[in-house]
Chain A
Amino acid sequence: MAERLWSGCRRRRALATSAVLGVAWLQASAGVAAPSPQNSSQRRAEGAPSESASAPGASKTPGTGAQHDAGLLKRYCITCHNNRLKTAELSLETIDPAHVAKDAATWEKVLKKLQSGAMPPMGRPRPDAAAYASFASWLTGELDGVARANPKPGRPATFHRLNRVEYQNAVRDILGLELDSSALLPGDDAAFGFDNIGDMLTVSPDLLDRYLSAANKISRLAVGDTSVQLGSAMYPISQYLLQADRMSEDLPFSSRGGAAIRHYFPADGEYTLKVRFAGNSPIGASSMRERPPQTLDVRIDGDRVAQLTTTGRDFEQPADVGAVETKVMVKAGPRVVGVSFPRSTVMAETRFPQLFPWGNSAAFGTNTGSVRYLNVSGVEVTGPQNPQGLGDTPSRQRIFTCRPTQTSQEAACAKKILGGLARRAYRRSVTPADVQVLLGFYEKARAERGFDGAMQVAVERLLVDPDFLFRVERDPVRTAPGSNYRVDDLALASRLSFFLWSSVPDEELLQLAEKGTLKQPAVLEAQVKRMLADQRSSSLVTNFAAQWLYLRNIRGANPDSYQFPDWDDNLRVALARETELFLDYQFRADRGVPELLTADYTFLNQRLARHYGIPNVYGEHFRRVQLKGEYNRGGLLGHGSIQLVTSFANRTSPVVRGKWLLENFLNYTPPPPPPDVPDLPAVGKDQAKLPLRQRVENHRKNPVCAGCHNVMDPLGFALENYDAIGRYRVRDEGSVIDSSGATPDGTKFEGLHGLRSIMEKRQVEFVATVTEKLLVYAIGRGVEYYDQPAVRAIVRDAAADNYRWSSLIQGIVKGIPFQMKQARLPEEKVAQ
Chain B
Amino acid sequence: MIITKKAIPRRTVLRGLGTTLALPLLESMVPALSAIAKTDAKVARRFSVVYVAHGYAPGFWTPKGTGADYELTMPLQPLAKFRDRMLLLSGVDNTAALQRPGDPRGGHGRMAPAFMCGVHAKPTQGADFQAGVSVDQIAAQHLGKETQLPSLQLSLEPVDFSGSCDSGYSCVYTNTLCWRGPTMPLPMEDNPRAVFERLFGDSGTTEGRLRAKRIREKRSILDSVLDKARTLSEGTSASDRRLFDEYLQSIRDVERRLETAEAQSSRELPVVAQPAAVPQTFPEYAKLMLDLQILAYQADLTRVSTFMLAKELSGRTYPEIGVAEGHHALSHHGDMEDKLSMLTKVNAHHTSMLAYFLDRLQSIPDGEGTLLDHSVVLYGSGHGDPNKHDPINVPLAIFGGDLIKGGRHVHHDHQHVANVHLALLHTLGVPAESVGDGNAAISLT
Contacts and interface: CB of A to CB of B under 8 A. Distances in A.
B27 interface: no
Given A208-B247, A208-B251, A191 B225 contact: no
Given A189-B172, A236-B276, A466-B228, A197 B127 contact: yes
A460 to B, nearest CB: 7
Contact of B184 (A201, A202, A378, A444): A202
A432 interface: no
B338 A688 contact: yes
B161 A824 contact: no
Interface string B303-344: 000000000000111010000111001000011111000000
Contact of A199 (B127, B188, B232, B276): B127
11 contacts: A187-B158, A188-B159, A189-B171, A199-B126, A205-B249, A209-B198, A216-B202, A382-B15, A474-B240, A553-B163, A679-B334
A457 B221 CA distance: 9
A229 B14 contact: yes
A551 B99 CA distance: 33
A376 to B, nearest CB: 12
Contact of A204 (B167, B184, B225, B316): B184
Given A187-B160, A649-B325, A234 B243 contact: no
Nearest to A781: B127
Contacts of A460: 221
Interface stretch (B189-197, B419-427, B437-445): B189-197
Contacts of B336: 682-683
Nearest to A233: B16
A467 B228 contact: yes
A452 B191 CA distance: 32
Nearest to B14: A231
Contact of A828 (B12, B168, B237, B276): B237
Interface stretch (A27-35, A66-74, A669-677): A669-677
B94 interface: no
Interface in A547-562: 547-553, 556, 558, 560-562
A624 interface: no
A158 interface: yes
Smallest CB-CB A-B distances: 3 pairs: A199-B127, A560-B324, A234-B276
A461 interface: yes
Contact of B241 (A159, A207, A660): A159
A465 B225 CA distance: 6
Given A230-B12, A672-B104, A190 B160 contact: yes
A238 B280 contact: yes
Nearest to A381: B16
Contacts of B228: 437, 465-467
B33 to A, nearest CB: 23
A183 B125 contact: no
Contacts of A186: 159, 187-189, 194
A673 B99 CA distance: 14
A782 interface: yes
Interface in A220-274: 227, 229-234, 236, 238-239
B43 interface: no
B317 A560 contact: yes
Contact of B106 (A192, A552, A672): A672
Given A552-B160, A562-B324, A203 B232 contact: no
Contacts of B28: none
A213 interface: yes
A1 B319 CA distance: 44
Contacts of A212: 218, 221-222, 254
Contacts of B170: 189, 191, 200
A650 interface: yes
B243 A159 contact: yes
B198 A782 contact: no
A434 to B, nearest CB: 9
Contacts of B290: none
Contacts of A547: 162
Given A467-B232, A552-B162, A679-B334, A229 B241 contact: no
A308 interface: no
B105 A189 contact: no
A86 B310 CA distance: 42
A215 B277 CA distance: 21
A195 B160 contact: yes
B235 interface: yes
A212 B159 CA distance: 22
A455 B50 CA distance: 44
A650 B324 contact: yes
A337 to B, nearest CB: 15
A391 interface: no
Looking at A158, A213, A457, A466, the one whose CB has the most chain B CB atoms below 10 A away is: A466
A183 B191 contact: yes
A590 interface: no
Interface of A: 157-159, 161, 182-184, 186-193, 195, 197-210, 212-213, 215-217, 227, 229-234, 236, 238-239, 276, 319, 377-378, 380, 382, 437, 440-441, 444, 457, 460-461, 464-467, 469-470, 472, 474, 477, 547-553, 556, 558, 560-563, 645, 648-650, 660, 669, 672-675, 679-680, 682-683, 685, 688, 782, 824, 828
B26 interface: no
Nearest to B183: A202
Interface in B216-244: 217-218, 220-222, 224-225, 228-229, 232-233, 235-241, 243-244
Contacts of B15: 232, 382
Given A158-B241, A184-B194, A441-B221, 16 more contacts: A189-B172, A190-B165, A200-B127, A202-B185, A202-B246, A204-B246, A205-B250, A207-B187, A276-B19, A380-B16, A465-B228, A474-B236, A550-B163, A553-B161, A558-B317, A669-B167
A191 B125 contact: yes
Contacts, number: 260
Contact of B315 (A231, A477, A648): A648
B349 to A, nearest CB: 15
A824 B237 contact: yes
Nearest to B218: A212
Interface in B1-51: 1, 10-20
Contacts of B232: 466-467, 470, 472
Nearest to B256: A205
A161 B233 CA distance: 14
B19 A828 contact: no
A647 to B, nearest CB: 10
B10 A466 contact: no
Contacts of A183: 191, 193-194
A648 B188 CA distance: 25
Contacts of A461: 221, 224-225
Contact of B159 (A189, A215, A465, A548): A189
B287 interface: no
Interface in B91-111: 99, 104-106
B407 interface: no
A674 B16 contact: no
Given A199-B127, A207-B250, A466-B232, A649 B315 contact: yes
Contacts of A683: 336
B71 interface: no
Contacts of A556: 158, 161
A213 B191 CA distance: 15
Nearest to A274: B18
B227 to A, nearest CB: 8
Contacts of A562: 324
A236 B17 CA distance: 10
A187 B19 contact: no
A236 B257 CA distance: 35
A551 B164 CA distance: 13
B253 interface: yes
Contact of B221 (A464, A553, A782): A464
B16 A192 contact: no
B255 to A, nearest CB: 9
Contact of A378 (B19, B190, B239, B240): B19
